[in-house]
Structure 1
Amino acid sequence: MRRTLAACLLAFSTLAAAPASAQQPPLRCAVDGTFAPHAFPRLEGGVQGFNIDLFREVAKRMGREIVIDSASFSGLVPAMNAGRYDFLCAPTTATAERAQNMLLTEGYLYTAFQFGIRRGSAPIRSLDDLRGKAITVNKGSAYDAWAAANAERLGFTVQTYDTQTDAVQAVISGRAYANLGGNTVVRYAASRTPQFIADFVMTDTRAHWSAPLPLGSTAMRVQLENALECMKRDGTIARLSQQWFGSAPAADDAENTVFPGTGVPGLANYDPTPREPRC
């Protein structure tokens, strides 16, 4: 009888001592699974890429399992705001408009807008060279928003595509002159596709690539940032960056920079309260 009671007490104490993370549901996030090298299909199924490795490690440091869905980028934010996802693992450009409508973590990468063109096409030396041309963008992206806002002023037309892969293919096939995307994505496509080359960079567009969350998810944002900042301090993000993008980030790049406060400095919903990462 005593042995039975002792066993029951031991089992109860073991359950009570189990970490809270073991009782929590998996984190839910999503990526655009055609956005290489950040997220793209594996031959054996599923997705791979920089952002997949990044957020699996983030979840591990938070003591949580994670489920990463793949979907068209244009549908990710509505799905998150509808409660389907806790946050987005897709690289999301931190803009003033987005910061008004969602929470953003500090950047884990910097991005800049870059054009890619078909090999043999006339290079882009300034934005004036876009006049009379067709530009492709990934639907719902920051590049889509920029193109829509500047098409009339600069005299180009915009073709939107559900995937970045299709947007690049339209340029290669001659249906458009150039693709506008993030610098890492354009350079990666050029490294894998001989007919496509990385061209003009809009140097004044450098911005944070962040993880967005629904408004109100302040505690989750702190947890995400804490993990990201610890990964910056121990060099994990820099190593992933070199692995997937082919070069080591500079000391002052976002992969190595712990930003003050919580969120993106200078944008809405940034919290300047000092916070030391707990690693």
Structure 2
Amino acid sequence: MRRLLLAAALAALPVLPALGQGGPPLRTAVDGTFAPHAYPRLEGGVQGFNVDLFREVARRLGREITIDSASFSGLVPAMNAGRYDFLAAPVTVTKERAEGMLFTEGYLFTEFQLGIRRGNAPIRSLEDLRGKAIAVNKGSAYDAWAQANAERLGFTAQAYDTNPDAVQAVISGRAYAVLAGNTVVKYAASQQRNLVPDFVLRETRAHWAAPFRRDNVELRNAVENVLECMKRDGSLAALSEKWFGAKPAADDAENTVFPGYGVPDLPGYDPTPHEPRCN
């Protein structure tokens, strides 16, 4: 009788996935044109900072991982539809996005930066954008900023399916500047001599983090735990230096373990104190 009662009690317990101890392959995606975070390999597939980062996260969770490449504008709808468990693409955390998705803490800080064609007059303030065309990646935080500020600042926003297309619009003269994250603008300039990194919008500093569906708290917390361990052991900073060419400062996101789960002071943040569990 005791065995029957014990078996019945165990059967009534909720079944929880063994995160960190194996499980089905993780399904995720990147914008495969967003170098150096994710871009095509000659032999097929994608490479980049975010590809390396989340392959290592999956390895530490004891999970296989499948990383698809798709246009950024389609990534969030695909995740919300259940196609992906989370997004490995760098996603800028905003209040509006955090109201609809769960985020890990930031693994990088990002600032908006403009890139201009070599020989063009530099942009020294936002007032210099008046009368100009600004190219952005469709569906990105840069697209949202451009759409929100175009009328006020007097510029025209041009949205392109990929960031390389936005860069090419500048090189060809169809746009005066491309607006993207600072790491992306600097990398594009290193590969395209006619592009020059220019004005940085200092007030736009934000977290780049991994988004999850709102009901996927357990996986969000498990991934954040790994990110915190990688910050503590220096492996996240090492990946950053490998792909971006500079050692992160001590107070950069790559070296900062933030309290709680998620991005402090934004929707979805859980202030519960915890100590990272690192193997």
Shift of 1:25: 1.6
SS of 2:199's partner is strand
SS of 2:42's partner is coil
Please report the TM-score for the alignment, with normalisation by the length of structure 1. Answer: 0.92
In the alignment, is residue 233 of structure 1 matched against residue 266 of structure 2? no
Q: Residue 63 of structure 1 corresponds to which residue in structure 2?
A: 62
In the alignment, is residue 43 of structure 1 matched against residue 42 of structure 2? yes
Please provide the CA RMSD for this pair.
Answer: 1.1
Q: Distance in 2 between matches of 1:251 and 1:22?
A: 31
Q: Distance in 1 between matches of 2:21 and 2:99?
A: 34
Q: Residue 175 of structure 2 corresponds to which residue in structure 1?
A: 176
For residues 161-172 of structure 1, the aligned pairs below 5 Å read 161-172=160-171
Amino acid aligned to 1:227: V
Shift of 1:192: 1.1
**Number of equivalenced pairs:** 261
For residues 56-95 of structure 1, the aligned pairs below 5 Å read 56-95=55-94
Q: Residue 111 of structure 2 corresponds to which residue in structure 1?
A: 112
Amino acid aligned to 2:204: T
Q: Residue 261 of structure 2 corresponds to which residue in structure 1?
A: 262
SS of 1:209's partner is strand
SS of 1:100's partner is helix
Q: 1:9-30, CA deviations, whole angstroms, 9 ceiling, x for partnerless residues? A: xxxxxxxxxx887862200000
Amino acid aligned to 1:158: A
SS of 1:115's partner is strand
For residues 4-43 of structure 1, the aligned pairs below 5 Å read 24-43=23-42
Please report the TM-score for the alignment, with normalisation by the length of structure 2. Answer: 0.92
Q: 1:40-76, CA deviations, whole angstroms, 9 ceiling, x for partnerless residues? A: 0011111000000000000001110000000000000
Distance 1:251 1:180, change over 3 A: same
- 2:19 touches 2:219 (CA, 8 Å); kept in 1? no
Q: Residue 52 of structure 2 corresponds to which residue in structure 1?
A: 53
Structure 1 runs (4+) deviating above 3 angstroms are: 19-23
Q: Distance in 2 between matches of 1:222 and 1:69?
A: 22
Q: Distance in 2 between matches of 1:51 and 1:20?
A: 21
Give the % identical residues. 74
Q: Distance in 2 between matches of 1:248 and 1:42?
A: 25
Q: Residue 133 of structure 2 corresponds to which residue in structure 1?
A: 134
* Structure 2 gap ranges (5+): 1-17
